[in-house]
Protein backbone atom coordinates (compact mmCIF):
# COMPACT_ATOMS: atom_id res chain seq x y z
CA UNK A 1 0.00 0.00 0.00
CA UNK A 2 1.32 3.44 -0.89
CA UNK A 3 1.31 5.93 1.95
CA UNK A 4 -1.16 8.78 1.37
CA UNK A 5 -0.53 10.62 4.61
CA UNK A 6 2.81 12.10 5.64
CA UNK A 7 4.53 10.58 8.63
CA UNK A 8 3.26 12.44 11.71
CA UNK A 9 6.79 13.13 12.96
CA UNK A 10 8.01 14.34 9.54
CA UNK A 11 4.99 16.61 9.34
CA UNK A 12 5.78 18.01 12.80
CA UNK A 13 9.49 18.51 12.04
CA UNK A 14 8.63 20.24 8.76
CA UNK A 15 6.10 22.53 10.41
CA UNK A 16 8.46 23.64 13.16
CA UNK A 17 10.53 25.73 10.74
CA UNK A 18 7.79 28.39 10.58
CA UNK A 19 7.85 29.08 14.35
CA UNK A 20 10.75 27.27 16.05
CA UNK A 21 10.72 29.56 19.10
CA UNK A 22 7.11 28.86 20.09
CA UNK A 23 6.88 26.85 23.30
CA UNK A 24 6.00 23.19 22.91
CA UNK A 25 6.24 21.97 26.52
CA UNK A 26 5.90 24.15 29.60
CA UNK A 27 6.17 23.09 33.23
CA UNK A 28 7.03 24.57 36.62
CA UNK A 29 10.78 24.47 35.89
CA UNK A 30 10.67 23.71 32.19
CA UNK A 31 10.19 25.55 28.89
CA UNK A 32 11.05 23.73 25.66
CA UNK A 33 10.51 25.29 22.25
CA UNK A 34 9.27 23.42 19.20
CA UNK A 35 12.71 23.95 17.66
CA UNK A 36 14.43 22.32 20.64
CA UNK A 37 11.96 19.41 20.64
CA UNK A 38 12.38 18.89 16.88
CA UNK A 39 16.18 18.96 17.19
CA UNK A 40 16.12 16.43 20.05
CA UNK A 41 13.76 14.20 18.05
CA UNK A 42 15.99 14.28 14.97
CA UNK A 43 19.16 13.55 16.93
CA UNK A 44 17.47 10.67 18.74
CA UNK A 45 16.15 9.31 15.42
CA UNK A 46 19.66 9.42 13.96
CA UNK A 47 20.93 7.53 17.01
CA UNK A 48 18.22 4.90 16.63
CA UNK A 49 19.06 4.56 12.94
CA UNK A 50 22.79 4.24 13.75
CA UNK A 51 21.92 1.39 16.13
CA UNK A 52 19.94 -0.52 13.49
CA UNK A 53 16.43 0.51 14.50
CA UNK A 54 13.93 1.09 11.71
CA UNK A 55 10.71 -0.21 10.18
CA UNK A 56 9.45 -3.19 12.16
CA UNK A 57 11.49 -2.41 15.28
CA UNK A 58 9.72 -2.06 18.63
CA UNK A 59 11.29 0.36 21.09
CA UNK A 60 10.26 0.66 24.73
CA UNK A 61 11.12 3.88 26.55
CA UNK A 62 11.54 4.27 30.34
CA UNK A 63 11.39 7.91 31.33
CA UNK A 64 9.70 10.32 33.71
CA UNK A 65 10.73 13.26 31.51
CA UNK A 66 7.90 14.53 29.25
CA UNK A 67 10.38 16.03 26.79
CA UNK A 68 12.21 12.70 26.47
CA UNK A 69 8.92 10.83 26.07
CA UNK A 70 7.71 13.10 23.27
CA UNK A 71 11.10 13.32 21.53
CA UNK A 72 11.41 9.52 21.59
CA UNK A 73 7.88 9.13 20.21
CA UNK A 74 8.69 11.44 17.28
CA UNK A 75 12.10 9.77 16.79
CA UNK A 76 10.66 6.26 16.56
CA UNK A 77 8.04 7.50 14.07
CA UNK A 78 10.77 9.10 11.95
CA UNK A 79 12.62 5.78 11.63
CA UNK A 80 9.36 3.85 11.13
CA UNK A 81 9.54 1.94 14.42
CA UNK A 82 6.87 1.26 17.04
CA UNK A 83 7.03 3.15 20.36
CA UNK A 84 5.73 1.92 23.70
CA UNK A 85 6.14 3.28 27.21
CA UNK A 86 8.12 0.68 29.16
CA UNK A 87 5.64 -0.13 31.93
CA UNK A 88 6.96 -2.45 34.62
CA UNK A 89 4.24 -4.99 33.78
CA UNK A 90 5.59 -5.23 30.24
CA UNK A 91 9.35 -5.51 30.69
CA UNK A 92 10.71 -8.96 31.41
CA UNK A 93 7.60 -10.69 30.05
CA UNK A 94 6.88 -12.38 26.74
CA UNK A 95 3.88 -10.13 26.04
CA UNK A 96 5.72 -8.12 23.39
CA UNK A 97 9.03 -8.68 21.61
CA UNK A 98 11.19 -5.60 22.14
CA UNK A 99 14.16 -4.69 19.95
CA UNK A 100 15.44 -2.01 22.32
CA UNK A 101 14.67 -0.66 25.77
CA UNK A 102 15.81 2.94 26.28
CA UNK A 103 16.21 4.24 29.82
CA UNK A 104 17.17 7.81 30.75
CA UNK A 105 17.54 6.96 34.48
CA UNK A 106 14.85 9.48 35.47
CA UNK A 107 12.64 6.85 37.12
CA UNK A 108 13.41 5.93 40.75
CA UNK A 109 13.90 2.21 40.10
CA UNK A 110 16.33 0.50 37.75
CA UNK A 111 14.92 -1.29 34.70
CA UNK A 112 14.05 -4.96 35.30
CA UNK A 113 15.75 -5.92 32.03
CA UNK A 114 18.95 -4.82 30.30
CA UNK A 115 18.43 -1.36 28.82
CA UNK A 116 20.33 1.04 26.61
CA UNK A 117 21.24 4.23 28.46
CA UNK A 118 19.54 7.23 26.93
CA UNK A 119 22.09 9.87 27.89
CA UNK A 120 23.62 13.07 26.49
CA UNK A 121 25.62 11.12 23.89
CA UNK A 122 22.41 10.53 21.92
CA UNK A 123 21.94 14.29 21.56
CA UNK A 124 25.48 15.31 20.58
CA UNK A 125 25.68 17.79 17.71
CA UNK A 126 26.18 16.27 14.28
CA UNK A 127 27.52 18.00 11.22
CA UNK A 128 24.82 17.69 8.58
CA UNK A 129 24.72 19.99 5.59
CA UNK A 130 21.50 22.01 5.20
CA UNK A 131 19.08 20.29 2.85
CA UNK A 132 20.55 16.84 3.47
CA UNK A 133 17.86 14.16 3.24
CA UNK A 134 17.15 12.14 6.36
CA UNK A 135 18.72 8.65 6.16
CA UNK A 136 15.50 6.86 7.10
CA UNK A 137 12.32 6.36 5.14
CA UNK A 138 9.89 6.01 8.05
CA UNK A 139 6.75 3.95 7.71
CA UNK A 140 6.00 1.97 4.58
CA UNK A 141 2.20 2.07 4.89
CA UNK A 142 -0.59 4.04 6.52
CA UNK A 143 -1.46 0.76 8.26
CA UNK A 144 1.91 0.49 10.03
CA UNK A 145 1.66 0.65 13.83
CA UNK A 146 3.54 3.67 15.20
CA UNK A 147 2.64 3.39 18.87
CA UNK A 148 1.53 0.63 21.21
CA UNK A 149 -0.57 1.51 24.23
CA UNK A 150 -1.93 -0.57 27.08
CA UNK A 151 -5.41 -0.73 28.50
CA UNK A 152 -5.82 -0.14 32.23
CA UNK A 153 -5.98 -3.83 33.10
CA UNK A 154 -8.95 -3.43 35.45
CA UNK A 155 -10.32 -6.80 34.34
CA UNK A 156 -6.98 -8.62 34.29
CA UNK A 157 -3.75 -8.29 32.36
CA UNK A 158 -3.58 -4.99 30.42
CA UNK A 159 -4.19 -5.53 26.71
CA UNK A 160 -1.79 -4.12 24.13
CA UNK A 161 -3.36 -1.88 21.50
CA UNK A 162 -1.60 -0.87 18.28
CA UNK A 163 -2.24 2.63 16.98
Q: Which CATH number fits the domain that encloses residue 64?
A: 3.40.50.12780
- Determine, yes or no, domain membership for 140: yes
Question: Is 53 inside any structural domain?
Answer: yes
Sort 97 into a burial class: Cβ within 10 Å, 0-12 / 13-18 / 19+: exposed
In a domain, 31, yes or no: yes
In a domain, 130, yes or no: no
Domain that holds residue 55: 8-122+136-162
129 falls within a domain: no
Predicted confidence pLDDT, tens digits, the chain (163 residues):
444 456 778 888 888 989 999 999 999 999 999 999 999 999 999 999 999 999 999 999 999 999 999 999 999 999 999 999 998 778 888 889 999 999 999 999 988 889 999 999 998 887 767 777 778 778 877 788 889 988 888 888 888 998 8
Within-domain flag for 29 = yes
Closest CA to 49 of 115, 107, 133, 110: 133
Residue 127 lies in a domain: no
Sheet holding 100-103, edge to edge: 116-117, 100-103, 58-62, 82-85, 147-150, 160-162
In 29-124 the beta strands, taken as DSSP E runs, fall at 30-33, 58-62, 82-85, 100-103, 116-117
111 within domain boundaries: yes
Domains contained in the chain, number:
1
Amino acid sequence: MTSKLPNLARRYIGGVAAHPDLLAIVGPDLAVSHGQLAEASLRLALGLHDRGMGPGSTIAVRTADPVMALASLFATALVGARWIFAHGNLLGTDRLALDMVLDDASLPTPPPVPATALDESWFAARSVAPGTALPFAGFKSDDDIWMISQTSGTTGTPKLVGL
